[in-house]
Amino acid sequence: MLENNAKLLSVKAVNKSFGRRQVLFDVSFDIEPGRIVGLIGPNGAGKTTIMKSIAGLTGYQGSIEIDGQKVSKDHLAPLKKVGSLIETPGIYPYMSGFNNLKLYSQNTSAEDLGQIMEQTMVTDFANRKAKKYSLGMKQRLGVAIAMLDNPELVILDEPMNGLDPESVHSMRQVLRNLADQGASVLISSHILSELELVADDLVVVNHGHILFNGTKADFFASQAHGAEGSTVILKTSNDKKATSLLSALGFETTTTGDLRIITDSEHSLNKLLQQLVMNKIEIHEITEERQSLEDSFIELIKGGKE
């Protein structure tokens, strides 16, 4: 059994080359039980290679441990605790979805199997041959396969790919249920908004380097209050006076349309409000324009290593 706060998955200093081309550079991150970790990066960043290394599908240098046991291509025993959907799910096309599930299931009761099919919304088409499935149906069946036999770690490579908005919504619910039951979930995407609502933690990767590894809240905070700061939009009793006052104090202001002020640690929102009050400028409306996670991500990727 895992102790509290133990790491279910520990990836340490993983390097990987294909021939002479290195594609992963000192990749390290951990996953605790019950957490959903979003692995995010643009196409070719190294997400699938990281997941394949964890799932024992490709060799690597460094260390990957699941529940304290090292995983490698030659030591797959820890993978009993892992359910995965990586790249094309291994679905047999001439079998029904239900029979595919039964084939992969070693120790899932009929009742649990029924529940997994309900949760992943596979039940309605479970008796049809898999070759007739759409991409979204295959994805759902692939996730159902990954959930068989009570995995402690579920690895899903781009599981939202091909899903309609309703299915994306229920997939989030499925992942949250898994985490609530104590499983750890590693899910990848190149679209941050797919992960934004579901991930607890984020690992941002680009060109095989980890650019950020921490909670989603920390990611947002580190980006929103980074060098650019956040933008405050003000409506005051005297915008002209407010602009010249704040400019004189070193605030970056723009007045095309609304009065917009960029705040940072030195020119904080608190300082801005104090100055307006001291100078008897009434504030009629104030809104903070927060950067979306997507903007933060793009900024981080642009500033990342080549």
Binding site for ligand ATP (CB under 6 A): 18, 23, 41, 43-49, 190
The Cα–Cα gap between 52 and 60 comes to 10
The Cα–Cα gap between 173 and 159 comes to 13
Residue closer to ligand ATP, measured from CB, 152 or 157 = 157
Give the residue from 257, 260, 265 showing the smallest Cα distance to 221.
Answer: 265
Nearest distance from C-beta of residue 175 to ligand ATP, angstroms? 19
Residue closer to ligand ATP, measured from CB, 25 or 92 = 25
The Cα–Cα gap between 101 and 197 comes to 28
Nearest distance from C-beta of residue 23 to ligand ATP, angstroms? 4
- What are the C-alpha distances in Å from 230 to residues 6, 196, 269, 286? 36, 19, 9, 13
Nearest distance from C-beta of residue 296 to ligand ATP, angstroms? 19
Residue closer to ligand ATP, measured from CB, 27 or 261 = 27
DSSP string spanning 211-275?
Answer: EEEEEHHHHHHHHHTSTT-EEEEEEES-HHHHHHHHHHTT-EEE-SSSEEEEE-SSS-HHHHHHH
Name residue, tokens 């200093």: 13
Residue closer to ligand ATP, measured from CB, 45 or 163 = 45
Residue closer to ligand ATP, measured from CB, 43 or 265 = 43
Helix ranges restricted to H, the chain: 47-54, 97-104, 110-119, 135-146, 165-180, 192-196, 216-224, 239-248, 269-278, 293-303
Residue closer to ligand ATP, measured from CB, 47 or 140 = 47
Other CB atoms within 10 Å distance of the CB of residue 157: 23
Give the residue from 184, 186, 156 showing the smallest Cα distance to 84.
Answer: 156
Residue closer to ligand ATP, measured from CB, 49 or 167 = 49
Nearest distance from C-beta of residue 226 to ligand ATP, angstroms? 24
Nearest distance from C-beta of residue 86 to ligand ATP, angstroms? 9
The Cα–Cα gap between 197 and 194 comes to 7
Which residues partner with 288 through β-bridges? 232
Nearest distance from C-beta of residue 208 to ligand ATP, angstroms? 7
Residue closer to ligand ATP, measured from CB, 116 or 154 = 154
Nearest distance from C-beta of residue 159 to ligand ATP, angstroms? 13
Nearest distance from C-beta of residue 205 to ligand ATP, angstroms? 7
